Amino acid sequence: MMTNSLLKSDNGKKTRMFSLRRQILRFVITLAFLLLLIMITVMTILIHSYQRKVDSTQWENVSSYAASIDNSVLQLRDTVGYIYSENSIFQGLYLYQPADDRVNSVVNMLNLLKLQVKSNRNLGGLFIYYDSDKKPLYFVNEEMSFQDKEMIKSAGRAVQGTSNAFIDYVLRADSDTYYNVYMQKNTAAISGNISLSHGLPVDVGEDEEYGIIYEGVFYHIAGRNSEISDRDLLLLKPGKICLNGMVAYVQKLDSAAMSVVKILPQNIWLYINGVHIFLLILGILLILFSLRLYRFTSDQLSIPLEDMTNALLNIQGGIWEVDFNASNRITEIENVRQTVRMMLKEIEQYKIKSYEEQLEKQKVQLQFLQLQLAPHFYTNCLKNAYYMLMMKEYENAEEFLLCLSTHLRYLLQTDAKMVTVQTEKEFVDNYITMQSILSSRPLLCEIAVDEKAAALEIPILTLQIFVENSVKYGRVIEGRNLEIQILVKCLGTDNGERLDIICCDNGPGYPQEMLDELNQKEVSAGEQMGIGIINLLGRLRLHYGNEISWYFDNRNGAYSEIIIPAEKGGGVS
């Protein structure tokens, strides 16, 4: 390959050249860098967005759970406080009453407890303690188990008499954990509780844990049990905290000195999901693809092009034997190689200058053959039109002049070399109409063209020449009218489709010496007869080369058949 970095162009200016392989390498490196940059940017944005979404979801769960507990605690305190401070039935339990009145107070208190618990589903139960030797009065939510109820009763009895003040505490029972409120006045006390498992999300994951921190103690509520150490417990402050492979979301309650905690294992799925992994793999595959693309373009494009360039430089230096050494699997490059080989073979066989001269000579010969069409027909047409006007045959003259105008317009299309069969047929029909007007003798011309052949192209005047020849020599026979038949059809051959043109008439036929001349491979125009047909054969030979064939005979008149390659077209060309 040329190593010069500067080359002169046609206008004398120097143009900077570049190495294809180097440009491919730069392109691949740039592409890989851009893909890596895009992948990092997109992954960073998506991961940050995903982390915010995960944090938002976790905080929503924690906040919802905390709000539920806050609401339950407030309702518990309102209920217990109301009974403690304002209810006369509760006051009767610690004041002296007659036995009958005291029994009524106990019954009324049980009804009150039942009413309060049933009207507030957040309450786990209400307990009334009076007279240390008496069993407590209570009514609990039907969800509370028997073991939990007994443990709560025992815990309330244990704190009875310790203080008249307000006491709250968390009790881990057999099947649930409860927040309890205890208030005592004189010898009577009221205690209520709520279940701390109320308000949890419907589906708690296997790796998730919910808990409560109360007075420095962690109470497991739901999910897996992480068994947090006392040291880790000291680190659990409100907010998001990472510790020992775990992530904790802590929110302090407004209603009590408690905090809600949600704990998750610290793993990769907290930061990325399947989409991110897919995009990461896709980015890596794209980078690997860009590297593979460089390898492919270098081996299959750059190196073969260098090899071809070196071969062309050898040709420029006079070495005509070309051997392409680089391996190649690209069809287009292989086609170029084959083309170069074929061109070299043609250059060895022919001289370019001689080839151009031959083409020019054929072009001049073609123009000469077209000019050999005799002009006397048009002179006779004008004379006949003049005689019609003199004889006041105006309708015939008008029709004839219109036909003549169409005839001349068709012939004077200087750029028209090829026309469709249908166009040529219409021209011949117009010519027959002219001849019918000029002659008093009837003239019958039948042209049969199959549908497929009508759209194919033929050289201009191909059919017209045969009709003119029949009209010129066929009318010399007295006693019968001239009949011309033309058949144009498609033929399927091993070498492709061909167009078969047959023209026959009932005239005197061809002279024998003319038949002998026409049926030779190389024909030449005679002095008197057949100049039109021979010129036509010359034009067809120049256009189609050796792919044309013809046959002439006498079969009750002149019989002519020409077979040419089928060429598709759309009109005059």
400-420 residue pLDDT tens: 899 988 888 887 775 667 899
Report the 3 state secondary structure along 210-258. EEEEECCEEEEEEECCCCCCHHHHHHCCCEEEEECCEEEEEEECCCCCE
Least confident range from 255-259, 318-322, 389-393: namely 318-322
Q: Quote the tokens at residue 406.
A: 């169409």
| Residue ranges per structural domain of the chain | 17-272, 359-568
Least confident range from 40-54, 340-354, 413-427, 509-523: namely 340-354
For residues 537 and 309, what is the distance between their CA atoms, to the nearest angstrom? Answer: 46
Q: Whole-model pTM above 0.85?
A: no
User: What pLDDT was estimated at residue 500?
Assistant: 95
174-213 residue pLDDT tens: 889 999 998 888 777 888 999 888 888 888 888 888 989 9
Q: Quick one: how far is CA 216 from the chain centroid? A: 61
Residue type at 88? Answer: S
Output 266-271 pairs: Cβ under 8 A, ≥24 positions apart.
266/242, 270/51, 270/54, 271/47, 271/50, 271/51, 271/54
Residue type at 521? Answer: K
For residue 444, the surrounding DSSP H or E stretch is strand 443-449
User: What pLDDT was estimated at residue 362?
Assistant: 62
Does residue 46 have a pLDDT over 60? yes
Vertex 339 angle, CA 338 and 344, to 5°: 100
User: What pLDDT was estimated at residue 2?
Assistant: 41
Q: Quote the tokens at residue 11.
A: 């206008």
In the predicted model, what is the mean pLDDT of residues 267-278? 74
Residue type at 311? Answer: A
Q: Quote the tokens at residue 133.
A: 């030797």
Instruction: Compute the Cα dihedral for 67, 69, 72, 74 and give only its sign.
Output: negative
Look up residue 545 and give its DSSP letter: G
Asked if residues 208 and 248 have their Cβ atoms less than 8 Å apart, the reply is: no
What is the residue-averaged pLDDT of the chain? 80
CA distances to 507, 510, 524, 528, 529 from 513, in Å? 17, 8, 13, 12, 10
308-336 residue pLDDT tens: 777 777 777 767 667 777 777 777 777 77
CA distances to 236, 243, 290, 510 from 56, in Å? 19, 20, 39, 104
For residues 394 and 407, what is the distance between their CA atoms, to the nearest angstrom? Answer: 19
Which SS3 state, helix, strand or coil, does residue 91 take? Answer: helix
For residues 417 and 423, what is the distance between their CA atoms, to the nearest angstrom? Answer: 12
Output phi, psi for 13, to 5 deg: -80, 150
User: What pLDDT was estimated at residue 448?
Assistant: 94
Classify residue 350 by burial, with Cβ atoms within 10 Å: 0-12, 13-18, 19+: exposed
For residues 76 and 390, what is the distance between their CA atoms, to the nearest angstrom? Answer: 132
- Averaging pLDDT over each range in 138-147, 453-462, 516-525, which range is the top one? 453-462
Domain 359-568: CATH superfamily is Histidine kinase-like ATPase, C-terminal domain (3.30.565.10)
